[in-house]
């Protein structure tokens, strides 16, 4: 089986400061994987490179065999990667519905996934339907996060990336979002998840990649991570 996403020897820098030193990992269709590590270790930078939001020094990111090097963010999105960015970044002066349709697109081709429409997003997040005429800046933090996820789904991705999607939310809203991600996994949507809630990640993910100082220093299943408390203590600080 060809990996859906392959990251090989990825290197990147902010100015003269190199921050990624040969990151390697893969993700198969329908899988959920995590990028784990402390803040500042290179997880978000890896995502920024994948999305074309910053240049790479070396290495390769490919989606279903297509090399993403040099692609602009809108081109990456068109190929089928949806991003729920850290900090949500919804449009504050657009309504919920305008946010959802602003970057929406039909599936580029049939990937075996059910297409996302307004009504399907509203079915996943009924609260958004109730607030569909409200502006983005009139929503609670949890509602804004639902909107950010819904907006990414409306691009009809075959890979969804979530960067700290549950940060700063109430326990009830966090639980709702984890339930949503589990539902998306059952429907076959591949995901990369960056989050600090290790317990929920263990329940959700097929494989974990621990990043330390810009390198993948460990990878394995949830059972293998549970059986490696020294890895959790040394690299995750929990």
Percent of the chain with pLDDT over 70: 99
Q: Which whole number is the average pLDDT over 94-104?
A: 97
Dump pLDDT digits (tens) for 115-127.
999 999 999 999 9
How many CA atoms within 13 Å lie on the side-chain side of 135? 6
% of residues, the chain, pLDDT over 90: 91
What pairs with residue 20 in β-bridges?
A: 12
| Per-residue pLDDT tens over the stretch 187-232 | 999 999 999 999 999 999 999 999 999 999 999 999 999 999 999 9
- Is the pLDDT confidence value at 150 over 60? yes
What is the pLDDT at residue 146?
96
The yes-or-no verdict on residue 109 having pLDDT over 90 is: no
Mean confidence (pLDDT) of the chain: 95
Interior/surface letters 82-101, b for 16+ CB within 10 angstroms, e for the rest = bbbbbebebeeebbbbebbe
**Which DSSP letter does residue 114 get?**
P
Please report the pLDDT score of residue 96 as a whole number: 98
Helices 141-153 and 171-186 pack at an angle, to 10 degrees, of 10
Tell me the pLDDT band of 78, cut-offs 50, 70 and 90.
very high
Q: Going from the N-terminus, what domains does the chain have, and what CATH number goes with each?
A: 5-236 (3.40.50.300)
Q: How big is the chain by its Cα radius of gyration, in Å?
A: 17
Half-sphere exposure of 127 (CA within 13 A, CB side): 13
pLDDT at 108: 67
Sign of the torsion angle spanned by Cα atoms 145, 164, 18, 61: negative
- Look at residue 200 and give its three-state secondary structure: helix
More confident residue, 112 or 45: 45
Q: Which one, of 165, 205, 6, lies nearest residue 225 by Cα? A: 205
Which residues lie closer than 8 Å to 143 by C-beta, 6 or more apart?
A: 127, 128, 131
How confident is residue 238, by pLDDT bands cut at 50, 70 and 90?
A: low
Within 13 A of 12's CA, how many CA atoms are on the CB side?
28
* The pLDDT of residue 111 is above 80: no
Q: What is the pLDDT of residues 9-37, one digit of tens each?
A: 999 999 999 999 999 999 999 999 999 99
Q: pLDDT (tens digit, 9 = 90+) per residue, 30-60?
A: 999 999 999 999 999 999 999 999 999 999 9
| pLDDT the model gives residue 106 | 87
- As a whole number of angstroms, the distance between CA 93 and CA 32 comes to 33
Indicate whether 107 pLDDT > 90: no
- 43 compared with 111, residue with greater pLDDT: 43
Per-residue pLDDT at 110 exceeds 80: no
């Amino acid at each position: 089986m060809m990996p859906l996403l392959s990251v090989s020897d990825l290197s990147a820098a902010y100015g003269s400061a190199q921050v990624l030193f040969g990151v390697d990992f893969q993700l198969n269709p329908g899988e959920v994987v995590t990028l784990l590590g402390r803040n500042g270790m290179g997880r978000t930078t890896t995502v920024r490179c994948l999305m074309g939001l910053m240049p790479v020094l070396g290495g390769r990111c490919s989606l279903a065999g297509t090399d993403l090097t040099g692609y602009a963010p809108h081109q990456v999105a068109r190929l089928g990667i949806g991003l729920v960015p850290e900090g949500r970044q919804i449009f504050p002066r657009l309504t919920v519905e305008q946010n959802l349709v602003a970057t929406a697109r039909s599936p580029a081709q049939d990937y075996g996934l059910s297409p996302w429409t307004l009504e399907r997003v509203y079915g996943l997040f009924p609260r958004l339907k109730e607030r569909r005429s409200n502006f983005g800046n009139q929503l609670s933090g949890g509602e804004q996060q639902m909107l950010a996820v819904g907006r990414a789904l409306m691009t009809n991705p075959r890979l969804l990336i979530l960067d700290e999607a549950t940060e700063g939310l109430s326990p009830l809203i966090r639980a709702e979002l984890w339930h949503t991600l589990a539902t998306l996994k059952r429907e076959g949507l591949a995901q990369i998840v960056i989050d600090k809630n290790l317990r929920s990640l263990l329940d959700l993910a097929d494989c974990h990649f621990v990043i330390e100082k810009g390198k993948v220093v460990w990878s394995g299943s949830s059972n293998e991570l549970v059986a490696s408390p020294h890895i959790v203590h040394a690299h995750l600080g929990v």
